[in-house]
Amino acid sequence: MKALRYSLILISALFYSTFCLAQNSTEVATEQATGMRADGKIYVVIAIVLTILFILIAYLAIVDRKISRLEKENK
């Protein structure tokens, strides 16, 4: 159950990043984003920052849930 949850989070994070990169390439091709934000590959930075944010948040949420379980056991 626990392993399942961990792997789900990891897989969703992976999917998420490929989605962002895919979007990046189409954006450049259709020239929807202009100037520095497309040519400067800023979408790559966003994808990386979001990946880090989501994994850190997931980690915090897991710790949060672990404490909730401990609190229940202690009652």
Partner 1 sequence: MLLRQTWWKIICIVLLTYTMIAGFLVSVPTIGNLNETIRNLYFHVPMWFTQIVLISFSLLYSLLYLRKNNADHDIYAVEFAKAGIIFGAMGLITGAIWAKYTWGAPWSNDPKQIGAAIAQLIYLAYFVLRNSITDIDKRGRISAVYNIFAYCIYIPMIMILPRLVDSLHPGGKGVKGNPGLNGADLDPAMRVVFWPAVIGWILLGLWISTVYIRIKLVEEKKLSVA
Among 14, 21, 22, 53, binds partner 1 (CB under 8 A): 53
Cβ neighbour number for residue 37 with a 10 Å cutoff: 13
Q: Is 50 in the site for partner 1 (CB under 8 A)?
A: yes
> What span, in angstroms and rounded, lies between the C-alpha atoms of 17 and 5?
19
The CB-of-26 to partner 1 minimum distance in angstroms stands at: 16
Cβ neighbour number for residue 47 with a 10 Å cutoff: 20
Q: Which residues bind partner 1 (CB under 8 A)?
A: 36-37, 42, 45-46, 49-50, 53-54, 57, 60-61, 63-64, 67-68, 70-71, 74
